[in-house]
Structure 1
Amino acid sequence: MSLTADLPVGDLQFYDNYVPALAPGNWRITVGHTLAGVVTGDLGAIQNMVVSAPQFAIDTNAVLNQYPPAGSTGQYAQVLPHIVLNDALLPWERTMTGSSDNPWLALLVLGEDEIVGGTGSPTRAQAGTVASFLSADPAVLKPDITQEGDVADTDPCAFIQLSTTLFTALTPRLTELRFLAHCRQSNIADKAEQGLEANGLFSVVVGNRFPAAPAQGGPGAQKSIAHLVSLEGLEPYLVDQPDFGGFTSVALISLASWTFNTMADQLQDFRGLMENLVAQEYDGTTYTPDDLWLRLPEPSPAIDTGTPAGAEADRRLADGFVPTPYQFRTGEQTFAWYRGPCVPVLTMPLSDGTLLPTADAALIYQSAFGVFDASLATAWQTGRALALADRAFGQALYDFRQRGHQLTDSLLQRLQSDAFSADQIAGLSGNTLVQDEFLQFLTSDLPSAPGLAGAARPATGPLPAGAAPDLDQDPARDPDPARDPDPVTTVKNFLADPQAQALIADETQDALLPVATWLANLLLLYPVPFNLLVPDGRMLAPETLRFFYLDGNWLRALTDGALSIGMQSSRDSFFTEIMGDVIRQAATTAAQALRARRIGVDPPAAEAAENLVSGFLLRSAVVSGWPNLAVHGSVGGEDLRILRMDRLADDLLFCLFWGVPDCVEFAEPQEGFRFGVDDDGNVPVRQPLAGGSVPLGTQLATPLLLVPGSLRADGDNVLDVATAAQQIQGALSAARVAVDDFGPADFALQMVKSPEAIKFTSPTG
């Protein structure tokens, strides 16, 4: 199988299957060597080996997505449930008799009263061991499989039991299996970090039964149970009229299971959940976009803004502050304002010369009202505490400072010595551009630099033979009243020069890299406690979406606090102060590339017009129901770079954009396409081939009425897959589109129900 390279974000590629080159099981490698004329016999060796593949259980991390979502309630009567697996090979890792491209897995959709036993589990699955499952039972049919060498008798497994009648009614036929599993490839750049494969390849197993719904107009919901089962060893029974002999039930290994409820209520489907996020911001007839900012809701009763104190409190709350208890060092109790890094307004950046050497320096006192603003002080102390807790970062920061000090001393020694030429001084750097700038600095700027005037002369190389130095003209040997002999001042003036900083930054890149990488994680708030991001739960109630900007001042205080550790002298402090901009720029650059390194994908993205970071927090059941939710933030139709997107909890999604989007779109994941029919039982007929007169996937003709004509006759809402495939091929032929080998990918394209999406646009977007 040849994967599509550089698949665009939002696109999806279907593949029939992904069959491994070597089947699982016990293998023997025999190597022989015959020597001519040797009577003792052939020389050879035998090596036994086991090719491992899941057989009785799978890793829980292999399940990426389920539809309908586990525990959800929605209008699912027209969809075919499916499960998305993070392992693209899994459905074909075991071989079924008769065909190597038939999956060994099937997804069964069952009613609670259709499963035999297992009453102690929500999914009616029974727990046991491999040995107990395989043990013979005169009434229960067990699969005819060989236990692999790496599977112990005591290994746990889960299984379900179905009556033989129900087994025949529900299970896919052996000829239908290939249509119910396929592979999908999508770009993972718009997904939360979940350890996904960088190639974005997933496998999907689709059920063949529509979930049961309540009677028309009836109350409540109908519970369904989905089981991903193994059909290995049951091939003789996957036919229309199998012979079960004296068996009355069939035992099936259950590899994954979940429950969901089907009803006529749309509140728990994707569209209903997303629309409900905005519906809460309506007050009956009007909608205020301002209500989607991350801040406390308006207090009730409203604040009296007629007084200076009331107006100030109202402004603070609107700007995202919350009042929090505050205790003076004297023990007195009062309150202070606090605001985290996620703010609803743009903030005025601190001036470049602002120094925050301590938390107290970052504490703001509002003398007009006698109240402290502890936002930046909290950020500073948080950065320091996180840095002190990470020994590796402390060591990396120490190594960087030591490297900087050593380089400074070496440069100054060469500048103040006649033993080195300009070429030898500039030879400290391998960067040609830095060399050129620094040579210019040596020949022109250095003699006139404050505190360095006369401290060194630009050397021009060794003197000609027989020539004597002109001591009277040598400022390095001739005292000059303008010369500052103070070494501290000399070092400070040297470090303050931009060319010197550029050279030091260039030569300390290796030592700066781990420091910048750690600070990049800090700038993206990975280690920052959530209660500092959202200090009051009322700011992010259940089923809410809140947007924000990142406060650069808060991040500045956070990094200053982290860089404050390990100061051993004034020289350390001055070096950190002088190199602060270099360190922060390196951290910012690392932060822009951090997500690409973590997920292995760096998609093309629009460059941010301004050095701003924005984002959102989504707290909703849509996050738990669609863990692979796709998110796009764009400006003028071009996607912005996602700096971070993580699920902080089962129902909480956190996202940061490089820039400020004018549109944010939330969509069901491409690889999580639903299968099924519309409310009338129709499926669209889509262009299945690329390069035709219309684009791939375009609807070609009148929708095909698939249901009820393609259901099995027993009334269990089971799709007759073979008949459905034939009807779809007939509809394509009628539309004058011929598909030579109609396979699982073609069937998937025709049966998908396009994912839903909802867009939030700014008032100016």
Structure 2
Amino acid sequence: MAHHFTESRPPLLVDLRDQRLPAAETGDYEAELAHRWAPAAGADAGSGTAPGEYPLTPVTHSFTVTAARRCLPPDAVHTVNPPDGASGLYHGVLPHITLSRASLPWDRALSSSRSVPFTEDSGTPRTPWLALLVFAAGELPADPGAEGLRLRHTRTAGTRPAREEVQRPDLEGGDADEDAWYTIDVPPDVFTKVAPRLEELRYLAHSRIVRTVKSAAPWYGRREELREGTFAVVLGNRLPRGDGRYVAHLVSLEGWEKRLPPADAGDKPLRLFSLHAWTFGNRPAASRAGFEQTLRDLVRCAEQDPHRLDLVLHASGKKANTPGADTPLSSDPWPPSGRLKHGYVPVRYQTHSGEVMPAWYRGPLTPFTPKPLPTPDGGGARRFRSAEQCHIFIDEQGVFDISYAAAWSLGRALALADPELAAQVDRARTHGWEDLRAAAAYLRLHPRADREALARHLESRSGPARFASVLRQGLLEHLAGGDRTDDGDDPAATAAAHSPATDARPAHGRLLSAWREPRVREVIRTRMARTLVPAEVDEYTQDLSLLCPPAPEDDLDAYVPAGTGLTWPALLPRVPFCYLVPDRGMLLDPVPPAGRPQSCPGPLDDGFEGLGRDGLRLFTVDADWLKCLQDGALSVGIGTALDEELTDGLSQALPVSTTPLTGLLLSTRLLSDYPDLIVEASGTTAALRRDMTGDVLMMLFAGVPGSLTFREPGHGIHFGSAGSPDRPAIGLRRCTVRESIHKGTPDPGNGQVFGTKLTLDDTHLRTPVSGGRLREVLDLGSGTKNGTGLLSDLSTELRKKQHHGDTFPDTLSPGQFALQLLRSPLTLDLTRRTKDGDPR
């Protein structure tokens, strides 16, 4: 099978800009309004002033432009990522905060020396005064558990203590008007290793413009709501690759220009204003892989051999277990056989005589389309009446195939264990008895009645239907003594009035004889099947439902609420997982190559050495296995020969799907991280989706799919790296400007993935913080053409990818850098290949 990854793009146009400057800088302003007028030429001014100069008194108005300084307005934060309080696999997520005010990071100048002209086309992006610092547990002395603890300050808290061993920012101007604010104290060594360098600050903030595409499908994203508008985004510079908790603080760096790396941070803690904070936890990453890597490992085994995705027990020398038991076989008595390739496993089988012997077992999920199962005694479409009738003896091996016998016994056990299922079977058979008595009585009066006439009389005699009909015809007229000899009278009562005084045949014999007439059997078994699988509700049942819908357990009529059918869609979800997959090794792939992380162990792979942790299996559903399961459930409550006959008719009348059923089993811890994982199959309709356990998903499809699609749930827009925790990488995207396109107009080709990645090495990451073993803080470098660091390497790789007619600057802009870090939901397409190798 061929596979390839693509992006799932939202129906939105997202434009990343370098900055969004405010209309005016903070400070005190004065506006002066003056008027001057002059008389027309040659007119007499009539005053002592010179002609043409008649000034009025100027009007002056003073005002002040302010901006947030120590705290944010309540509605300033649009969203954060990772979510506050979340715990997950975030080794590839670069923490960031989205602000509702698009110009907020540039409302203030970092310092007077960093003030640039207030024009977005000045060519030099303004350095933002905000930064997002990410700390791990144990790095902040006042918050050792990374719980988001901060020191609260108010205007009424009193005077400052005389001696505080902290450094404060060098702020110009007076204090803002905030009543309360928060601070954190950062040790100098931690600040030096975590804070961005002065030249890196401008690349960690950008603005975002989101526009909706017309006639686009709705976007159901997780975590961050994508909506139209203009926002500001502040990125962190630390990938949380370590295990444990992290806390992110949006801090003000105004007044800290002289302390930013690589400058000396001093010898005292730095007291920073914390404008917003949230916490998150990174799960153990040493044994887990991300979405893309996990799916690649799942399908890699099928690149050369597509049968590796079959639901079979691959030869591995392991012992098999019996369905529902954990006792392995003590030896391996099986000669080389192709039955393993057909989905069979060896099991321990105990006969009714008590003898223990090996046998073959296969569940309803098979890797091939099985041959039709012969009916018992060549009896046409008759049902299997016992488990023994489902046994298959293999002469060349001298053992039994108990697959269908186990299905029959399981169906019977399910019906006995569930009173509702047993009651449905008994209700259908009871309705058959009642209809058969009425049909026998009617045929004694009308021996030549055809099937249609018999069906009409059986429909009119049912209690609820008769009651609704009487209501329509007029209940009072019937109660007042209307005609009681019309065709609506009870056929059984009319037959009793005209019956002979004696009848040599017993009642049971008469009913059995009536049943064996084709016209009677066809009508009655259809009505019995409608009890279990209600057809389209007719007008009588609709009238009844408007009055008083009866409870299913108390209804004596053949009509029951829809959805209570006893067909395989109702039975299959009740089948224990060990009957569907008899050996846990059928789901798991071999151990991936050394050095590749595996998922955490799950309940299906404990004790299976030499096997991996994930697996994807494709199968076909054996309709005969489901038929035996259904026959076993129908066998409950049979007491007489007529019960057997009625049950045979009921089994034949239940609907049988002519469309082949196929499906997949996905066993991976990825389902715990993505419970809303989207799985689609082309050319089919989903028949059933069932979460077997927290790590196993089963899906059934009506038809044979041409391709399978696995979609990562939409997660809005986030930034970060791709790849495994040990080898983070950045996927390269096209971000050039065509000369033929007017400046400022977005290029529709920008943002497309090239398919290559830049692996982050030691030159792109700073030394570990506080003695940690992992490099997490990005080293962007100077950003010049001949510089070193992430910006320089990204620019070099992107210039190699530029198309003809594209121009690319020597260094990335903040918006272009954010575009390289952008992560979109991924889509994996699996395509079947024909014998000639072409995908289909």
**TM-score interval w.r.t. the shorter chain?**
0.5 to 0.7
Aligned residue in 2 for 1:656: 700
Aligned residue in 2 for 1:616: 664
Cα distance in 1 for partners of 2:220, 2:625 equals 36
Match of 1:378 among 406, 429, 437: 406
Cα distance in 2 for partners of 1:518, 1:230 equals 57
Aligned residue in 1 for 2:522: 497
Match of 1:338 among 354, 358, 361: 361
One-letter amino acid matched to 2:513: T
Aligned residue in 2 for 1:390: 418
Cα distance in 2 for partners of 1:274, 1:681 equals 17
Pair 1:12 & 2:10 matched = yes
> Does the 8 Å contact 2:185/2:270 carry over to 1?
no
> Does the 8 Å contact 1:547/1:616 carry over to 2?
yes
CA distance 1:249–1:310, shift in 2 (3 Å):
same
Pair 1:208 & 2:243 matched = no
> Does the 8 Å contact 2:223/2:716 carry over to 1?
no
Shift, 1:388, TM fit: 2.4
CA distance 1:354–1:397, shift in 2 (3 Å):
closer
Aligned residue in 1 for 2:456: 426
One-letter amino acid matched to 2:281: S
One-letter amino acid matched to 1:276: D
Cα distance in 1 for partners of 2:356, 2:650 equals 39
One-letter amino acid matched to 2:94: L
Match of 1:296 among 299, 313, 317: 313
Alignment of structure 1 residues 190-229 onto 2, 5 Å = 200=220, 202-204=222-224, 208-212=235-239, 222-223=241-242
CA distance 1:423–1:619, shift in 2 (3 Å):
closer
Cα distance in 1 for partners of 2:567, 2:85 equals 31
Say which SS state the counterpart of residue 516 (structure 1) adopts. Answer: coil
Shift, 1:229, TM fit: 7.2
Shift, 1:362, TM fit: 1.9
Cα distance in 1 for partners of 2:445, 2:205 equals 82
> Does the 8 Å contact 2:393/2:400 carry over to 1?
yes
Aligned residue in 1 for 2:801: none
Pair 1:80 & 2:98 matched = no
Pair 1:633 & 2:681 matched = yes
CA distance 1:362–1:400, shift in 2 (3 Å):
same
Alignment of structure 1 residues 552-571 onto 2, 5 Å = 552-571=623-642
Cα distance in 2 for partners of 1:311, 1:275 equals 35
> Does the 8 Å contact 1:109/1:207 carry over to 2?
no
One-letter amino acid matched to 1:337: W
One-letter amino acid matched to 1:258: N
> Does the 8 Å contact 2:408/2:628 carry over to 1?
yes
Aligned residue in 2 for 1:268: 289
Shift, 1:261, TM fit: 5.2
Say which SS state the counterpart of residue 565 (structure 2) adopts. Answer: helix
Aligned residue in 2 for 1:321: 344
Pair 1:513 & 2:558 matched = no
> Does the 8 Å contact 1:545/1:619 carry over to 2?
yes
Cα distance in 2 for partners of 1:241, 1:683 equals 34
Gaps of 5+ in 1: 1-8, 17-54, 84-90, 99-105, 129-135, 147-159, 190-197, 214-221, 302-308, 436-458, 463-474, 589-609, 725-733, 736-743
Q: Percent identity?
A: 23
One-letter amino acid matched to 1:295: V
> Does the 8 Å contact 1:109/1:226 carry over to 2?
no
> Does the 8 Å contact 1:397/1:515 carry over to 2?
no
Shift, 1:336, TM fit: 0.8
Q: Deviations over 1:48-84 (max 9, x none)?
A: xxxxxxx9xx9x9999996xx35x6xxx4xx53589x
CA distance 1:752–1:272, shift in 2 (3 Å):
closer
Alignment of structure 1 residues 148-187 onto 2, 5 Å = none
> Does the 8 Å contact 1:522/1:528 carry over to 2?
yes
Say which SS state the counterpart of residue 486 (structure 1) adopts. Answer: helix
Gaps of 5+ in 2: 1-6, 15-76, 105-130, 150-156, 167-177, 226-232, 258-268, 319-331, 466-484, 489-497, 539-558, 589-611, 723-728, 738-744, 767-775, 781-790, 792-804, 807-814
> Does the 8 Å contact 1:208/1:718 carry over to 2?
no
Aligned residue in 1 for 2:649: 578
Q: Deviations over 1:493-531 (max 9, x none)?
A: 2442269727966599942734327741423xx222222
| Aligned-residue CA RMSD (Å) | 6.9
Cα distance in 1 for partners of 2:735, 2:243 equals 29
CA distance 1:423–1:527, shift in 2 (3 Å):
closer
Alignment of structure 1 residues 12-161 onto 2, 5 Å = 12-14=10-12, 69=89, 76=92, 80=94, 109-112=134-137, 114-116=139-141, 124-126=145-147
Q: Deviations over 1:82-138 (max 9, x none)?
A: 89xxxxxxx99x99xx9xxxxxxx99754455344676xxxx44599xxxxxxx999
Say which SS state the counterpart of residue 511 (structure 1) adopts. Answer: coil
Larger relative helix fraction: 1
Match of 2:511 among 465, 483, 487: 487
Say which SS state the counterpart of residue 363 (structure 2) adopts. Answer: coil
Cα distance in 2 for partners of 1:696, 1:646 equals 40
CA distance 1:680–1:554, shift in 2 (3 Å):
closer
> Does the 8 Å contact 2:616/2:667 carry over to 1?
yes
Cα distance in 2 for partners of 1:281, 1:326 equals 34
> Does the 8 Å contact 1:294/1:540 carry over to 2?
yes
Moved more, 340-349 or 324-333: 324-333
Shift, 1:328, TM fit: 2.6
Cα distance in 2 for partners of 1:294, 1:685 equals 45
Cα distance in 2 for partners of 1:629, 1:271 equals 13
CA distance 1:64–1:229, shift in 2 (3 Å):
closer
Instruction: Return the TM-score normalized by structure 1.
Output: 0.53
CA distance 1:373–1:423, shift in 2 (3 Å):
closer
> Does the 8 Å contact 1:616/1:656 carry over to 2?
yes
Match of 1:551 among 611, 615, 622: 622
Say which SS state the counterpart of residue 636 (structure 2) adopts. Answer: coil
Cα distance in 2 for partners of 1:643, 1:673 equals 32
Shift, 1:354, TM fit: 4.1
Shift, 1:324, TM fit: 0.8
One-letter amino acid matched to 1:273: T
Alignment of structure 1 residues 652-731 onto 2, 5 Å = 652-671=696-715, 675-676=719-720, 683-684=733-734, 699=752, 717=778
Shift, 1:314, TM fit: 0.7
CA distance 1:255–1:576, shift in 2 (3 Å):
farther
Aligned residue in 1 for 2:298: 277
CA distance 1:228–1:145, shift in 2 (3 Å):
farther
Cα distance in 2 for partners of 1:535, 1:394 equals 27
One-letter amino acid matched to 1:426: R
Cα distance in 2 for partners of 1:413, 1:658 equals 44
> Does the 8 Å contact 1:548/1:615 carry over to 2?
yes
> Does the 8 Å contact 1:183/1:203 carry over to 2?
no
Cα distance in 2 for partners of 1:107, 1:408 equals 80
One-letter amino acid matched to 2:697: L
> Does the 8 Å contact 2:87/2:282 carry over to 1?
no
Q: Deviations over 1:220-241 (max 9, x none)?
A: xx5266758799xx9xx69887
Q: Deviations over 1:579-608 (max 9, x none)?
A: 2244344xx6xxxxxxxxxxxxxxxxxxxx
Q: Deviations over 1:464-501 (max 9, x none)?
A: xxxxxxxxxxx999x999xx982221034244226972
Shift, 1:337, TM fit: 0.7
Cα distance in 2 for partners of 1:573, 1:183 equals 68
> Does the 8 Å contact 1:633/1:663 carry over to 2?
yes
Shift, 1:338, TM fit: 0.7
> Does the 8 Å contact 2:663/2:698 carry over to 1?
yes
CA distance 1:117–1:391, shift in 2 (3 Å):
farther
